[in-house]
Amino acid sequence: ANRWSLSGMNALVTGGTRGIGHAVVEELAGLGAVVHTCSRTETELNKCLLEWEAKGLRVSGSVCDVSFRHQREKVIEVVSALFNGKINILVNNAGISFRKPTVEYTAEEFSTIMSTNFESAYHLSQLAHPLLKTSGAGSIVFISSVAGVVSLGTGSPYAASKAAINQITKNLACEWAKDNIRTNAVAPWYTRTTLVDHLLADKSFLDEIISRTPLRRPGEAEEVSSLVAFLCLPAASYITGQVICVDGGMSVNVLS
């Protein structure tokens, strides 16, 4: 196989209609993969599918809320039928965030963050395991966050959901290496997407982000999707169990 191509491979990317997931869908399909994606919003999903078709990218999609167990089972059934029981790439991207002090989280908010960000990624990986194994060469990429590596002050349930992802990245890498499944996580810092655009629109907040970031700007979704794609390529065949920050240097910076 060509070390720098995904041709002949297929992929499931959760949350591909906006932001980082959208960029990942285009990056993987652009490198030759056949991609299936999902989101909760049918109109937006259909609009994306038409745009991808016009660009010549091979992408299909399902409506699926990954925070519900039954809907996760359903989307894996769809993908299994579509790709003949084999899947090379699973990108667990769909996630939500809202940050506030720990004492202010309700029980419901806590469980929504955990089920959407962590339980969904865990369960989809479990469900995809036989399909990844059957493919002969599988790769899982979790979209984590630097919030799971260092403290950002608020948003502790979100941080915990991402730290849990960082740990299963290591566990699954060791457990499933014998099945030739690699598992890695990509941990972005502020990246311009619909999740955080409203925060970055606040000048004093943006200035604080810039001041903490050696590269002096937030990231772009394409700067995250390039690493996700790299980790899925045959060229990355010896990389597993790693959590890689895409953060303009933020997490290694103390004073600058």
Q: Active-site positions?
A: 158
- Cβ proximity to ligand NDP: between 93 and 240 the closer is 93
Tokens in use for 140?
A: 């899982």
115 CB-side CA count, 13 A = 14
Min dist CB 69 to ligand NDP, Å, is 12
Q: Which of 11, 26, 36, 39 touches ligand NDP by CB under 6 A?
A: 39
To ligand NDP, the closest distance from the beta carbon of 38 in angstroms equals 6
Using rule CB under 6 A, residue 215 touches ligand NDP? no
In the block, which residue shows the tokens 């990218």? 57
CA distance 34 to 59: 6
Q: What is the dihedral of CA 31, 79, 65, 185, to 10 degrees?
A: -50
Residue 15 sits at φ, ψ, to 5 deg, of 65, 50
**Stretch near ligand NDP under the rule CB under 6 A, chosen from 14-22, 81-89, 207-215, 226-234:** 14-22
Give CA angle at 51 (45, 54), nearest 5°.
145
Q: Give how many residues touch ligand NDP by CB under 6 A.
A: 32
The answer to whether 156 contacts ligand NDP (rule: CB under 6 A) is: no
Which of residues 79 and 135 has its CB atom nearest to ligand NDP in the complex? 79
> Up-side HSE of residue 77: CA atoms within 13 Å toward CB?
7
Contact between 191 and ligand NDP per CB under 6 A? yes
Which residues would be at the binding site for ligand NDP (CB under 6 A)?
14-21, 38-41, 44, 64-67, 93-97, 116, 143, 145, 188, 190-191, 193-196
